[in-house]
Amino acid sequence: MIAIASDHAGFEFKERARQLLDQLNLPYRDFGTFSPDPCDYPDFAYPAAKSVSTGECEKGIVICGSGIGASIVSNKVENVRAALCMTAEMAELSRRHNNANVLNLGGRLVPWDVAEEIIKVWLSTPFEGGRHERRIEKIHSLSGC
C-alpha cells in the first residue's frame, strides 16, 4: 500500500497521482488534504510518513508547493528516508542507492508530465543493496533517525 498526501499547493498533483496509482493498479491510502483550501503541510505529511515508518504502508508520496517542507517533515519520522526529486534520474538514484521510502514532490516546481515520470520511475526502481545497505544502516544508527 502507498501512502499519499499533500497540502493545498500539492492537491492537484495528489489527485493526478491517485489516478496514476489507480491506472497502475496500486493500492493507496489518501491522508489528505481533500480540497485546495489553504492548510498546513505537516498535518498531512507527518501521518503519511508515519504510516510508512510503522509498516502500514510500504512507500509514500507526499506533495507540497516546493516539496521542501514535506521532505523536512517526512525525514523527521523514524525509519523514513524521504527524497525530494525533481527529475526521473533523482528518483531512480533515490531508490537504487538510498532505498528512499517516501517520495516528495514540488507541485509548483515541476510540470505534471515530469512528476508522472518521476513517480513511475520511483515506484519501479529496486534498491541495489550491497555497499548501499551499509550506508542506510549508518543513517539509522545516527541519533534521532
Alpha-carbon gap, residue 18 to 33, rounded angstroms: 13
Higher pLDDT, 92 or 143: 92
Active site (catalytic) residues: 64, 97
Domain residues for the domain of 28 are 2-141
Instruction: Look up the CATH number of the domain holding residue 15.
Output: 3.40.1400.10
Residue 115 pLDDT class (50, 70, 90 cuts): very high
Q: Peptide bond preceding 54: is omega within 30 degrees of 0, i.e. cis?
A: no
Our count of domains for the chain comes to 1
d(CA 9, CA 104): 13
Is the pTM higher than 0.75? The answer reads: yes
**pLDDT exceeds 70 at position 144:** no
Radius of gyration for the alpha carbons in the chain, expressed in angstroms and rounded? 14
Residues 6+ apart with CB under 8 A from 123: 2, 24, 26, 59
Residue 129: its pLDDT value, please? 86
Calpha distance 76→58 (Å, rounded):
17
Can you read off the three cell numbers belonging to residue 17? 497521482
